[in-house]
Every structure is written in structure tokens, then in C-alpha cells.
């Protein structure tokens, strides 16, 4: 940090405001944070001010910032072959696919690489439609699947509404006991009623018209909604009953975020995983160091395209630098016990620590999550569960950043999503900051 120049920070801000068009924003009101660099679970600006990154940026830097093995892997690949067409065979691409498939299990046979999560979902939807001969895709209202044509229409939240140009999409309510749509009073009841609702939607839409059900295994931006016992099993049964392809979107929840390589591997009842037909991934597969995503394809669906052309492709599919970053990231996660660390942190530190925080602060209506994937549902009143306003969340974000923590927020929630490499000491430091910030904001309220 000794070579930081504050004038570079000023220049970065000026250039951004003069020339950069930001996503999901009214441009005139923006005051973007300037980041100079980072290491591990910290980032800092050009003045040397450090922030503990409990956002993982967009919940993607699972290995933290500037992991030396991943940076070295990218540099080594750049020296050998910086880019190549996707139709060629490339060693880094083959090694990346081999490693991903090894973590997913024998049910899956091939990987189709994309540039990120949105186009992974686009291509998974395309595969489902081509293999079933059907058109419709069902997804939940509480979901986010990306900002491309079909992916944004599959999304359930408000971002879908200005972008509804793709056809053949329907939505249903998934389980969420804290704000139940089904008047449920237990996880089991929520699961049963949500499944009944889903089957009625399938029947009402016409089961023979539905190509796929697309689910975030654990919905992320929608609130870290861990599915209740039996729900994923029930969706799997409905898909099998009606000949529907089951797609799990693991763009955010995959590669260590829940304390498993894939979230679905740890969520089945009795330790038996509910296996989907297609899995989409991105973000944590290489901590976002180079844009990359993909679709894990089951053997049965992959076999359809042995003699039938798959009508899809991307110039940068399986880009060598991205593939090298995946190889290095998965190898580092394996050798450094990163998945195990994320699980331990959730069970022994974040889960208990956030529960203590909620007991102390009435504004925290519910704590939910697993691994390093948690959300604090903020309410005006614990009885009514009325969500706090956006203004309250903004005050909390400001209070957290003033105390040295970079937060992730969505709607009425603060999401607690540090890198998978986070230490118990860093969690303790963060919990103290959350405590101070909540105390300050509650006092002002």
C-alpha cells in the first residue's frame, strides 16, 4: 500500500463519472466507491483506507482478493496462449471441465462454458427447450437469474418488469416461511403447501407445454432462502412426473458459498442429494477474476446433441485465461480446505454470532443462511414483521462503512457474505462492527 497515490483515486472517480454508464442505476445520483486494490478479505482505496469486504463484491470473490495461486495461473496462461477460438481444443479448458465435473459427480457428462451466469441460464433454458420440444419455463417470483433476454424474464423480482421481451415464462411462489404465501406455521407445512401450489401451476399452465423449472438452489439476492426439508425432493418428483427438465441455478450459491462444492449436494433429506438435470454456475468458480460461467449437463441431455447440432455459442466460450483461473481456483480451494472452512465458519462462528446479534437488536427480524451465505431480515416491528424502509438500510450501510466494513444489501436486508477464506478473527471483527452500526441506527430511529 506504500505506492498508493491519492490523486489516482481522484482521477479514477472523475473518469468514471465522466465516461462510465453503470448498471441498475440513475446515473446522475451516483457516487461510486473507488477501490485501488485488495488482499484476502480486505479492500482499500487510494488513500489507504481499508474495508473488511463482507459483500464479496457481488457475492463472487469466494477466494477473496488477489489470491496468489489464481493470479499466477492467469499470468502463466497469458504467457502461453492468451486467447483461442472455442471450436479448438485447449488444455486449460479441458482441465477446467474435468475439475468441475469431478466435483459434481457421475450424473454429469459435459460442461458448456459461457461468459457468466446470465448466459449460462440462457443456454440451460435453450437446452431444456430443445431436448423436450416444449417452450415454457417456470421460475419463482423471489429469484434473480441474470440480465439477458430469457434470464431476466425468468427472474422473479422487479428487474424483470421493464425487460419482459422473451416469451414462454411463468412464475410461482417458492417456500419462504418467514413471509409465507401459504399461511404455513412450520417448515414441513411450508414445503408441502408450496409443492401443492407448484403442481397446480404446472397443471394450469399445461404440463406438456413446460420445458423446465429453473430454481436458484438457495435464492441469493432474494434473501438467502434456504429451502425447507423435502422441498427440493418434491420439485424433483414433479419434474419426473411431468417430464420437465430441472435446472438448478448455482451462480451465486455454488463453489463453497454454502459450505459445499454445490449447494444441492448438502440440502437433501438424510444426506441424499437432489440431483438436477442441468446446473448453471459462474461467480465463485474462479472468484470472478476473469469473466466465466457455464452449464453442467447431465449425460442424458448431453447425449441428445451427439448427432443433433446445438444452436448456440459464444466467441469467448472457454476463454483460456478464464479456464486457467478456474483450474487454479479449484485446486486452491481443494488444497487449502476452503470449502471446509466455509462450512466451519457458518456453523461455529457466523451462525451463532448473527443469532446473538438478532437477540440484541429487535430490528433484526430473522437470521437465515448457511456456510458464508447469510441474510438479516430487517423489520420495524418483530411481531408484524413489517420491513424497514430503504432509508434505514442506507443508514445502516453508511454506518457499516464508516466503521470499516463493506456491506451487501438488498431490499430490507443486509446480507452477510464474506469470502469463503474468512477467518474466525475476521468474523469476530465484523460482528463487532455490525453490533455498533445497528446500535447507532436504532438509537437514531
> Distance between CA 404 and CA 175 in Å, rounded?
35
pLDDT at residue 158, as a whole number? 85
pLDDT in tens, 47-99: 999 999 999 999 999 999 999 999 999 999 999 999 999 999 999 999 999 99
Least confident of 150-159, 196-205, 221-230, 385-394: 150-159
pLDDT at residue 3, as a whole number? 86
Question: What pTM value is reported for the model?
Answer: 0.96
Does the pLDDT value for residue 2 go beyond 80?
Answer: no
Q: Which three cell numbers stand for residue 333?
A: 480451494
What angle, 0 to 180 degrees and rounded to 10, lies between the N-to-C axes of helices 91-104 and 320-335? 40
pLDDT at residue 270, as a whole number? 80
Residues 6 or more apart from 414 whose CB is under 8 A from it? 375, 376, 378, 393, 396, 397, 400, 407, 408, 434
For the domain covering 68-335, report its CATH number.
3.40.640.10
Query: pLDDT over 90 for what percent of the chain?
Result: 93
Say if CB 190 and CB 177 are below 8 A apart: yes
Give me the torsion for CA of 369, 285, 63, 266, rounded to 10°: 30
Domain ranges of the chain: 6-66+337-444, 68-335
> Distance between CA 55 and CA 415 in Å, rounded?
7
Q: What angle do CA 163, 169, 171 make, to 5 degrees?
A: 100
pLDDT in tens, 150-202: 888 888 888 888 888 888 999 999 999 999 999 999 999 999 999 999 999 99
Query: What mean pLDDT value characterizes the chain?
Result: 96
Domain 6-66+337-444 class, CATH top level: alpha beta
Amino acid at each position: 500500500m506504500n505506492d498508493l497515490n491519492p490523486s489516482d483515486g481522484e482521477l479514477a472517480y472523475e473518469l468514471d463519472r465522466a465516461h462510465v454508464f453503470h448498471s441498475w442505476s440513475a446515473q446522475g445520483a451516483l457516487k461510486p466507491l473507488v477501490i485501488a486494490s485488495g488482499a484476502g478479505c480486505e479492500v482499500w482505496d487510494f488513500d489507504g483506507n481499508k474495508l473488511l469486504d463482507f459483500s464479496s463484491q457481488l457475492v463472487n470473490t469466494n477466494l477473496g482478493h488477489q489470491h496468489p495461486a489464481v493470479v499466477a495461473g492467469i499470468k502463466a496462461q497469458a504467457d502461453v496462449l492468451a486467447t483461442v477460438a472455442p471450436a479448438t481444443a485447449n488444455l486449460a479448458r479441458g482441465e477446467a471441465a474435468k475439475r468441475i465435473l469431478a466435483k459434481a459427480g457421475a450424473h454429469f457428462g459435459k460442461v458448456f462454458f459461457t461468459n457468466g451466469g446470465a448466459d449460462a441460464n440462457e443456454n440451460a433454458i435453450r437446452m431444456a427447450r430443445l431436448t423436450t420440444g416444449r417452450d415454457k419455463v417456470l421460475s419463482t417470483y423471489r429469484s434473480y437469474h441474470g440480465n439477458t433476454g430469457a434470464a431476466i424474464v425468468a427472474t422473479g423480482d422487479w428487474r424483470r418488469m421493464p425487460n419482459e421481451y422473451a416469451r414462454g415464462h411463468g412464475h410461482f411462489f417458492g417456500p419462504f416461511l418467514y413471509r409465507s404465501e401459504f399461511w404455513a406455521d412450520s417448515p414441513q407445512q411450508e414445503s408441502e403447501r408450496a409443492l401443492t401450489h407448484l403442481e397446480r401451476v404446472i397443471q394450469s399452465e399445461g404440463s406438456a407445454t413446460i420445458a423446465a423449472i429453473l430454481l436458484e438452489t438457495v435464492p441469493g439476492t432474494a434473501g438467502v432462502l434456504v429451502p425447507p426439508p423435502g422441498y427440493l425432493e418434491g420439485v424433483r418428483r414433479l419434474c419426473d412426473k411431468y417430464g420437465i427438465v430441472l435446472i438448478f441455478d448455482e451462480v451465486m450459491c455454488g463453489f463453497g458459498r454454502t459450505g459445499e462444492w454445490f449447494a444441492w449436494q448438502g440440502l437433501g433429506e438424510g444426506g441424499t442429494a437432489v440431483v438436477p438435470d442441468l446446473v448453471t454456475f459462474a461467480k465463485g468458480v474462479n472468484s470472478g477474476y476473469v469473466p466465466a460461467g457455464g452449464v453442467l449437463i447431465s449425460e442424458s441431455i448431453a447425449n441428445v446433441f451427439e448427432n443433433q447440432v446445438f444452436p448456440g455459442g459464444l466467441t469467448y466460450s472457454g476463454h483460456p485465461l478464464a479456464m486457467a483461473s478456474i483450474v487454479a481456483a479449484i485446486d486452491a480451494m481443494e488444497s487449502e480446505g476452503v470449502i471446509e472452512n466455509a462450512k466451519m465458519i457458518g456453523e461455529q462462528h457466523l451462525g451463532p454470532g448473527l443469532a446473538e446479534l438478532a437477540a440484541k437488536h429487535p430490528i433484526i427480524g430473522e437470521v437465515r443462511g448457511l456456510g458464508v451465505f447469510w441474510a438479516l431480515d430487517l423489520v420495524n416491528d418483530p411481531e408484524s414483521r413489517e420491513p424497514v424502509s430503504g432509508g434505514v438500510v442506507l443508514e445502516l450501510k453508511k454506518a457499516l462503512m464508516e466503521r470499516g466494513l463493506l456491506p451487501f444489501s438488498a431490499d430490507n436486508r443486509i446480507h452477510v457474505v464474506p469470502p469463503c477464506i474468512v477467518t474466525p478473527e475476521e468474523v469476530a471483527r465484523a460482528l463487532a462492527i455490525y453490533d455498533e452500526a445497528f446500535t447507532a441506527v436504532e438509537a437514531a430511529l
